[in-house]
Structure formats: structure tokens, C-alpha cells
Structure 1
Amino acid sequence: MTDLRPIRRALLSVSDKTGLAEFGTALAEMGCELVSTGGTAKALREAGLTVADVADLTGFPEMMDGRVKTLHPVVHGGLLAVRGNAEHEAAMEAHGIGPIDLVVVNLYPFEATVAAGGDYNTCIENIDIGGPAMIRSAAKNHDGVCVVVDTEDYAAVLAELEANGGKTGLAFRQGLAQTAYARTAAYDTAVSSWMAGAVGVEHPRRVSVSGTLSSTMRYGENPHQNAAFYTDGRQRPGVATAQQHQGKALSYNNINDTDAAFELISELGDAGPACAIIKHANPCGVATGATLAEAYSRAFDCDRTSAFGGIIALNGELDGETARQIVEIFTEVVIAPSASAEAVEIFAAKKNLRLLTTGGLADPFEPAQVIKQVSGGFLRQDKDIGHIGLDDLKCVTKKQPSEAELNDMLFAWRVAKHVKSNAIIYVKDGATVGVGAGQMSRVDSTRIAAQKARDMAEVMGLEAPLTQGSVVASDAFFPFPDGLLTAAEAGATAVIQPGGSMRDDKVIEAADEAGIAMVLTGQRHFRH
């Protein structure tokens, strides 16, 4: 007994008409009868094809502005009838229902309508009803019916038909059915997510996430882990939408770290030429400069050792001078809004270096949801888009910070948002000079950052580490004075931190005794 099924009649109803004429022509040449609706039928006829209208099958015209056309027993009976089932075939015979062997449907462009800023009623009108119903019917009955929801599958369908004399195999139909159910699930996710926001439901009773496969990977974080990259359909500048100019495919860790780098550098879009160097999703050097080349050099000097094999993000066009500096050491990925022809040529000599251009910076304050898997469920929260300005700072010490210290504190605070907790960042003259990340104790982060600065001073032949005369940012409050005093011992002259500890008075007293300025933000930036 064979699992091959012939395709004698196809129903096509598509919003995206890419490749439609060619696909319809190929089906017709194989002897397949074409049935269609509205604009799809018009496009097929313009290609010189003979097409029957769905209305001719159902005996009912399209009505209610096209809302009702395929929702009819003649259509769904032709899709759902089990081939070879005597009772089903008798019902088809009694009611004049002919089998439909292939359904080709891509849905109303709801996601695109939302992305284009459509108003409430416009979005509602772009919710497809008949399309998902046909897709689900055909996918359920995949033993006898083939369903296609993506234009990129047209070629595969034609190849399958050609290889099997106008028939499709069960395994092939099963694969298309799975894709079809994933598409309707993603579509419903887009609708429900949009509607939750449109009607003000902050925490929906049920939520779902969806994505489209972008690439498979050799492995995940480690070689024994399987991995793939999915995109969510947003056109926000970043790794998912970037153009890769050269180098091998991005790995799981590359994408994770490059995303962290680009999010940080987008935060510094208004800071003048800026560079961020990332290692294992943490900044190991962030700086501004008169040029991108200077910004890169200053970021590199924060921790030259960790920068090796890192990810570099720039907030402006990569130029030749900066490119020449970057290629002096091994770098995994460089991401920037654009790159000059000279820079691209310089990088071309480094075949393992990936260059990504995004066409712009991301909006660091665009609301989004962050999801983290835990055992038995997942956590969902708003993305951290918190930010502060000078007017938000409250000085709590006898010593007032200078204008230069205030500018450095605000810069350090922006960087701290992108460093894993517990995070301590020393900054001097618009450049990080020490970063302590991810420690269980805040005082340990303070010490590690200071030690890195001492190590770099020795490498660079400096008389003193650059933490002398620096400012310090802490992503959360100092629970005890010890962390602040460690920073003061490293040469820091000013501190920015959220405040809110039960021992704030003790920390403020310690700052006064150490002769340093301290401001509170009232906002923290835990990053776990």
C-alpha cells in the first residue's frame, strides 16, 4: 500500500503573491485544476491560467467585504474528508463535494499592518479567519491533503510532484503540516499579543511566543548542545536584521554577545563617537572619543587581555583608520551601523572576522518583553529601558561632584545597565578604566575592577592606574561601606549608586570621611 497521493485539484488563496504565477503555471501543466478567490484568482488569470472561483464550488458569492468566502462545507468537506473512508466518500457524493488535494494559503498581513502602525480597526480587518481555518483543516487531514503556507516551499512541492509523477509522499505532507500549524500558532500569537497591548491587558492569562527559523548552528553554548536562531519578525536594527559582509556563520555565543554589544552601543547613540568591546556578554571596555578610532583605542586600554577574541560594537560608520586598529588583534565580530569601502577591504584580509552592518542604531528605549526559561515555566518582564539625567541625581555628601565627574557618572551609569550584577564600573574622562561583573559580593566586583586597572597600568607603563581620579557606578546600592571604601582606596573621587539600603547613612558617612562625592539615582539596574 502506497502513501503517495495525487494532486488533481488545488485551492489557492494568498496575500503574498510572490511566485504565484510560476507556481500556478507549473501545477496547471501537471494537469491540476486550479480553484481560487478574489485577487489570487485575478493574478492567476492574468498569467493566462484557467481558474475556477470558490463561489462556483459553493454556490455562494463572496460577501461581507470578503469576510465570508471559503467558510463553507463544500470547501471544508473537500479538505477534511478521509480518503478511502466509505462513509466520508458517500457524504461527498450525496452533497456534491469534490476533494481538494492541495491548499496554498498565506494569511492576511496582520503582522505587517501592526508594524506599519495601523489603527485598531485596520488591524482587526487584517485578522484572517478563512485562511487559518483552511490551513488547519488541510493540515489535520495531511494523510490525503497537502498544505503550503510559505512561498519558499513552492519549489519543494514542485520537486516532490515531479519526482513522484504528480503525487506527494506522506513524510513530505507531514512536514508541511507541521509548518502549517506552526504558522497559524505564530499568527494567533501575533494577534493575541497585539490585542493585549491594544486593550491594556498587562499580564494576559495565557501568553505564547513565536519565531521564524533564521539559521541552524553547529552547536549551542557548548558542543554537546543543539541550537538554532529564530527571528521574531521585528525590523528593529540589530543582529537579526544585520547584513553580514564576510566571515563564517555566527555561532550561538557570537549572536548572544553581539546582541549585548549592540544594545550597549545603541544606548550611547548620542554620546559622540563610541565603542564597546564585549566578552561573554559583559563589557570589558567602553569609551567615547573624538573619533571612532580614538574611542576604540580607549576602550581597548581598559582591558587589553579580555578584548582578545571579543565583540566590538561602534555607534557610527566603521572607517579605515578604526579598521586598521581592530585587525591588529583577533576579534570575533564587529557590528556597526555601516562601514566604508576602505574598512570592508581591510577586513577582507581577515577571513575569520565577521563584519555586520545594521543600517542604524536601535532605539534603546523601545518597550519590549524579556523572557527567561525556568523549570516548569518562564519569567516575563519588561525590558530595562530605565534611564536618568542630571535632574534625577541627588547629592547626599558634603562634597559636590564637579561637572566632569557628573558627566562621567552618567556615562558609567549607562554602562552599568549592561553589566551583569553585581556590577561595578570605574570611568575616567568618558572611558571605562575598570569593570567588575557578575560577582556574588559587590565588594569583590569593586576589587576585581580595581585590580584590572592596576594590571593595565603595568602593561601600559603608567605610573598609576587610571582609577586614580575616576568615578564609580554601582548597579545597586552598597549594603555596607566596604565596597565604597574599596573604590576610594583605588582612587575614585565620586560615586553614583541607587541608594535605598538600610545602611545608607553609614555609607554616606563613609563617603564624607573619605572625602568623595556621592549621588543617588533612586533606580537600580540588576542584570542577571
Structure 2
Amino acid sequence: MSHPTETRRPIRRALISVYDKTGLEELATVLDQAGVEILSTGSTAATIAAAGISVTPVEKVTGFPECLEGRVKTLHPHIHAGILADCTKPTHLAELNELNVTPIDLVVVNLYPFTATVAAGTDFAGCIEQIDIGGPTMIRAAAKNHSCVAVVTNPQAYREIAEEIRAGGFTASHRFQLAAQAFSHTAAYDAAVASWFAGQNTQTPAVVGGQWELIETLRYGENPQQKGAVYRTKTLGFGGELTEANGIANAQQLSGKAMSYNNYTDGDAALRAAYDHTEPCVAIIKHANPCGIAIGTDIAQAHLKAHACDPVSAFGGVIAVNRPVSVTLAKQIAPIFTEVVIAPDYEPGAAEILATKKNLRVLKVVPPHRETAEFKQISGGLVVQEPDTLTDRGDNPANWTLVSGKAADETTLKDLEFAWKAVRAVRSNAILLVKDGASVGVGMGQVNRVDSCTLAVTRANTLGERATADAAQTQVKTADETEATVEKTAPPQRAQGAVAASDAFFPFADGLQILIDAGVKAVVQPGGSIRDEEVIAAAQAAGITMYFTGNRHFSH
């Protein structure tokens, strides 16, 4: 908004040409009451006139009718000279007078719905017709000449615009702000068209882009000395597909502290991990890696299994689930220090239980669509890729190649399939140990696969020992309120009898041997190493089952 002490430039003449007519009558009424002359085109003019408001058709100004099925309406010097004239230059004003052109002070335009047309599956010719030409031209002209002209592209801003008009017009700072928004709007529109065109020939777009709208400024970024903010986006991917405005950036926060930069990034990793599975799934994420991920017969059981993987690291983690949070699950989460809980919904009473933890951020999130391009900033530019999904031929166990041992039985194969999906959530080099639909050991982020195998086995067995020790100290109440100590049992070696997934091939047999020595009974990996024969021989010598998928799931 404008500062109250700034000088306002009055609006005498406005040009309105909009596809989305939300709020149009209300805005036109305000302009008419302020004595503003309204110029308009086609259906926009008809809508204004039908409301009983005086409007001048553009063809009366240009002396030239709309033509070519509406492709040409406003592309005329009498329009664009009126928009582009610099009102601070006497020579421009004299030239307008000589040409009998009246300046235009306000341009209200929104564009043909190109991205929505593409998203609706419209054929090629239909999409071409929804590429706006006159609209972006007027917007850019008005934004360039913001020293004299105000430009509005968003119907949601009409109420604010009406207030400015009633106050006597727009200040220079407000016109500049509107111009910046306008250029962002046309840049995103052009990038969407460019991406769609490239996608028609399965080419990589020469230009990528989108529109990012500020949601809020964060307290800080990854570290306190860094500024941070979160934006929402709507853009087109490689094939011209529309990215819906959902996911964690558009979460509805039900309770708890404000989200931080790291909450958003870990939350997004947790969402992706949970929604890689169709069964009830819980992913507990810490520093972008899972400290537990599991599926279960219901979401509460899945959480117990995920938490048991690494209860130490789950402290201060982010939990994402792919089912509504039940009261049972809420009661399980409440005693554990957790940063964020993310779910598609909450059953009656569940959100209220979690709301008692004032520091716990409770989010309701529409599941994200990831069928678009992924961007990562590098110095001097971006790297862009299509998303890694679980739809490749090699992601289906029916297409795996058995290279060692007996074919897995139904239970083992189900664990291998879960492990193969879940290892995608682990940062490379990634090794994931699984039992009964739950992670029991995670080896992540190491610079060689041997260390990842060692880490996965060590964490599986060490954390299993600690979990048992903690259980031995648990106090339970008997019927007469006396305390009894849970009987201590031998610490489990959780790697024994587990299955393992590796996100990429084993370059040597040494990493696989670590898993074999720990008692892993079956392995799924991409294959493709020049030493595959050596690796297969080690598996065969140990008598373990091993499958090749033919594709990998690196995540950096």
C-alpha cells in the first residue's frame, strides 16, 4: 500500500480487458462513481454495460473493429500510445494532442487461462488459441510506463485498488509495486508457454520459469545468520503439465509454533517418503533422512514400527503420514518431542490432543503432485530434471531379475518391495535394512557404499540394543498400583534375517559382504556394475537371494 504522505496521481481514464471477470462489476462501479472513463473490449465491455455502467468500446477509440476471431482488439497506436506516453515529458503530451490520443491512467488486464487449458487436456489447436497476445502487450506497456500508469493483473487486488481510487489515485511507490507484480505475471506466463512448446517435441525447454508468490518471511533460513522466506508456486513442467498449488508450502497449520526453513525442507522430504507407499505409512525424518519409515495395518501401528527403528533420532523429528491421524496415533506422538506432524486430515479429537503440545507444529496438507520439473540452484544457474518416481519398469518386482539364491517367498518379497520404495527416501549412498514392513537400519549420506553398509548394520544392532535397554527400565503399574519392572531380554541383532535395499549398484563385493556377515537374507539392488559377476558370486557363495532391478534411485 501507499504511504499516506505520498502524492497521488488521479485516474481519469481506465482500460479494462479481462478473461476472469471476478469482481469486475464492483470495480467498474467504483471507477464510474469516481468519474473515470472506462474503455473496454468484447465480453468485458458487454458485462460492464449489462450492469448499467457507461463504457466505451475499444473499437470506437481505434476506429477499427475487432477482427480475426478476436485475435486483434487492442493492438493499435490509439491504445498503446495512450498507455506508453510519458506524462512528465511535454513533447509526449504535445504529440498525443497532435495525434488526437488521450492518455490512459489505469490498465486492468488478466490473461487467457493457458495453464488451466493445458491442464484440462485440451488439444494442440485449443491450447494455441489460449496464448494471449494483446493482454501481455498491454500489461508490459503499462508496467514499463508505471511512472504514469497503474497496472492491475490480479482480481484479488480489486478491493485494494478501489480504496486507492476513492483516496484520489495511486502513488508512485504503489504503481512501482504493481508494475513489479505485472512483469512477474507476464514472465511466468511466457515461461509456461515456452515450456509447453518444448514439451510438444519432448525437448528440454530452452527457458524454464514460474511464478512464486511470497507466503511469509521466516525468522531465518537454514542458520540464524541467513534470511529466509517461503513461497508458493504454480508453473509448468517439461511436458507442459500444471503443478497444483498444494503440498507443504500450502499447508493449513492447525496449531503450534511458526514453521521454520528446516521444518519446511524436512517436512517435504517426509511427505515424499510417506506418499511413496499406498499402504498406511509413517515416515519420521531428521535432517532430510529417515530415522524410521514403516507401513502397517493402520497408521498407529505403522508409527510404532517406524519409531522403533531409531527412537533416539526420532527426538525432534518430523512425522508425515499418508492417512488421517487417529486418536490412537495422536496419543502415541504426544509424549515424544516432535517438531512437525503432517497429515492429510485428523480424526475428531486427534488434532486437539496434539494441540496441547504448544511447540508442536500440526499441519494439514493436500498430498503433493510431483509430475513436474525439479529445480536445484547452483552457482550461476540451475540444474533441472524430471522427478524420480516409482513408475519405472524396474520398480515392479515382477520385472526384477533373480541373480542369486532361491526366489523370495511372499513375505520376503513384500519386504524387498517396501525396502526398494523406501530406500528412495534415504540420501545416497543409501542402504536400508527392513523387517516386517519397517526399517530397522539406515545407512545414509556416506561417500562410499561400504561405509553405508557398515552404518546400516551398526545402527540396526546398536539401536536395537538400546531400545531393549530402555524397555527394561520401563515401569508399569499393577492393579494394586505397585510398580513392576519389565523383564530384561537379550538385545536383538536386528540385521539378522532382515532384507536390504541399495539405491545404486555395489561397485565391489565388499559392501555386500558386510550385509551377508550381518545375517541379511535377501538384497535388492539395481545391478549394472562392471564387477556384477564378483558381487553375484559373493551372494551365491553365501546362499542369499539377490535381485537386480535395472534402475537406481539416487537422492542427493
Q: Could you tell me the TM-score, scaled by structure 2's length? A: 0.89
Q: CA deviation at 1:430?
A: 0.7
1:334 — aligned with what?
341
2:71 — aligned with what?
67
1:80 — aligned with what?
84
Question: Residue 191 of structure 2 contacts residue 207 of structure 2 at CA under 8 Å; is this kept in 1?
Answer: no
Q: CA deviation at 1:85?
A: 2.2
Instruction: Report the secondary structure of 1:417's partner residue.
Output: helix
Q: How many residues align?
A: 519
2:254 — aligned with what?
245
Alignment partners' CA distance in 2, 1:268 and 1:137:
50
2:534 — aligned with what?
506
2:134 — aligned with what?
130
Residue type at the aligned position of 1:243: Q
Q: How do 1:131-170 and structure 2 match up within 5 A?
A: 131-163=135-167, 166-170=168-172
Question: Residue 35 of structure 1 contacts residue 53 of structure 1 at CA under 8 Å; is this kept in 2?
Answer: yes
Q: CA deviation at 1:345?
A: 2.0
Q: How do 1:437-476 and structure 2 match up within 5 A?
A: 437-461=444-468, 463-476=491-504
* Cα gap change, 1:46 to 1:223, in 2 (>3 Å): farther
Q: CA deviation at 1:467?
A: 1.6
* Cα gap change, 1:195 to 1:316, in 2 (>3 Å): same
Question: Residue 218 of structure 2 contacts residue 228 of structure 2 at CA under 8 Å; is this kept in 1?
Answer: yes
Q: CA deviation at 1:246?
A: 2.4
Question: Residue 189 of structure 1 contacts residue 210 of structure 1 at CA under 8 Å; is this kept in 2?
Answer: no
Residue type at the aligned position of 1:401: A
Q: CA deviation at 1:3?
A: 6.2
2:55 — aligned with what?
51
Alignment partners' CA distance in 2, 1:257 and 1:518:
32
Alignment partners' CA distance in 1, 2:244 and 2:337:
30
Alignment partners' CA distance in 1, 2:447 and 2:283:
24
Question: Residue 479 of structure 1 contacts residue 501 of structure 1 at CA under 8 Å; is this kept in 2?
Answer: yes
1:171 — aligned with what?
173
Residue type at the aligned position of 1:123: C
Q: How do 1:332-371 and structure 2 match up within 5 A?
A: 332-359=339-366, 361-362=367-368, 367-371=371-375
Q: How do 1:74-473 and structure 2 match up within 5 A?
A: 74-163=78-167, 166-197=168-199, 199-233=200-234, 234-235=243-244, 237-269=246-278, 272-359=279-366, 361-362=367-368, 367-386=371-390, 387=392, 388-461=395-468, 463-473=491-501
Question: Residue 194 of structure 2 contacts residue 205 of structure 2 at CA under 8 Å; is this kept in 1?
Answer: no
Q: CA deviation at 1:18?
A: 2.3
2:544 — aligned with what?
516
Question: Residue 247 of structure 1 contacts residue 354 of structure 1 at CA under 8 Å; is this kept in 2?
Answer: yes
Alignment partners' CA distance in 1, 2:228 and 2:444:
27
| Percent identical | 50
**Superimposed CA distance per residue, residues 20-51 of structure 1 (whole angstroms, 9 cap, x where no aligned partner):** 22222222222222222222223333433222
**Superimposed CA distance per residue, residues 497-517 of structure 1 (whole angstroms, 9 cap, x where no aligned partner):** 111222222222222333322
Alignment partners' CA distance in 2, 1:116 and 1:129:
21
Question: Residue 282 of structure 2 contacts residue 303 of structure 2 at CA under 8 Å; is this kept in 1?
Answer: yes
**Superimposed CA distance per residue, residues 467-499 of structure 1 (whole angstroms, 9 cap, x where no aligned partner):** 211011111111122211211232211111111
Alignment partners' CA distance in 1, 2:529 and 2:207:
37
Question: Residue 161 of structure 1 contacts residue 167 of structure 1 at CA under 8 Å; is this kept in 2?
Answer: yes
Alignment partners' CA distance in 2, 1:353 and 1:42:
53
Q: CA deviation at 1:188?
A: 0.4
**Superimposed CA distance per residue, residues 386-430 of structure 1 (whole angstroms, 9 cap, x where no aligned partner):** 441222221222444333222111111101112110001000011
State the superposition RMSD in angstroms: 2.0
Alignment partners' CA distance in 2, 1:347 and 1:20:
43
* Cα gap change, 1:245 to 1:117, in 2 (>3 Å): farther
Residue type at the aligned position of 1:135: I
Alignment partners' CA distance in 2, 1:352 and 1:193:
42
Question: Residue 415 of structure 2 contacts residue 435 of structure 2 at CA under 8 Å; is this kept in 1?
Answer: yes
**Superimposed CA distance per residue, residues 129-158 of structure 1 (whole angstroms, 9 cap, x where no aligned partner):** 111111111111111111111123333334
Question: Residue 220 of structure 1 contacts residue 252 of structure 1 at CA under 8 Å; is this kept in 2?
Answer: yes
1:497 — aligned with what?
525
Q: CA deviation at 1:180?
A: 0.7
Alignment partners' CA distance in 2, 1:84 and 1:520:
72
* Cα gap change, 1:144 to 1:468, in 2 (>3 Å): same
Question: Residue 340 of structure 2 contacts residue 363 of structure 2 at CA under 8 Å; is this kept in 1?
Answer: yes
**Superimposed CA distance per residue, residues 414-450 of structure 1 (whole angstroms, 9 cap, x where no aligned partner):** 0111211000100001110011111112111112222
**Superimposed CA distance per residue, residues 147-195 of structure 1 (whole angstroms, 9 cap, x where no aligned partner):** 11112333333444445xx132222211111111111001101111112
Question: Residue 252 of structure 2 contacts residue 365 of structure 2 at CA under 8 Å; is this kept in 1?
Answer: yes
Alignment partners' CA distance in 2, 1:107 and 1:315:
37
Alignment partners' CA distance in 2, 1:352 and 1:42:
54
Alignment partners' CA distance in 2, 1:267 and 1:22:
46
* Cα gap change, 1:22 to 1:189, in 2 (>3 Å): same
Alignment partners' CA distance in 2, 1:372 and 1:135:
30
**Unaligned stretches of 5+ in structure 1?**
none
* Cα gap change, 1:49 to 1:259, in 2 (>3 Å): same
Question: Residue 235 of structure 1 contacts residue 241 of structure 1 at CA under 8 Å; is this kept in 2?
Answer: no
Question: Residue 456 of structure 1 contacts residue 465 of structure 1 at CA under 8 Å; is this kept in 2?
Answer: no
Residue type at the aligned position of 1:473: A
Question: Residue 375 of structure 2 contacts residue 385 of structure 2 at CA under 8 Å; is this kept in 1?
Answer: yes
Alignment partners' CA distance in 2, 1:215 and 1:122:
37
Q: CA deviation at 1:241?
A: 4.0
Choose from 472, 485, 489 the match for 2:513. Answer: 485
Alignment partners' CA distance in 2, 1:205 and 1:20:
37
Question: Residue 273 of structure 1 contacts residue 316 of structure 1 at CA under 8 Å; is this kept in 2?
Answer: yes
Which deviates further from its counterpart, 66-75 or 370-379?
370-379
Residue type at the aligned position of 2:257: K
Alignment partners' CA distance in 1, 2:202 and 2:526:
30
Alignment partners' CA distance in 1, 2:29 and 2:212:
32
**Unaligned stretches of 5+ in structure 2?**
1-5, 235-242, 469-489
Which deviates further from its counterpart, 477-486 or 390-399?
390-399
Which deviates further from its counterpart, 96-105 or 443-452?
443-452
Which deviates further from its counterpart, 101-110 or 461-470?
461-470
Alignment partners' CA distance in 2, 1:45 and 1:180:
27
Which deviates further from its counterpart, 12-21 or 2-11?
2-11
Instruction: Report the secondary structure of 2:313's partner residue.
Output: helix
Alignment partners' CA distance in 1, 2:146 and 2:368:
42
Q: CA deviation at 1:362?
A: 4.6
Residue type at the aligned position of 2:135: G
Question: Residue 355 of structure 2 contacts residue 362 of structure 2 at CA under 8 Å; is this kept in 1?
Answer: no
Residue type at the aligned position of 1:14: V
Question: Residue 232 of structure 2 contacts residue 245 of structure 2 at CA under 8 Å; is this kept in 1?
Answer: no
2:239 — aligned with what?
none
Residue type at the aligned position of 1:257: D
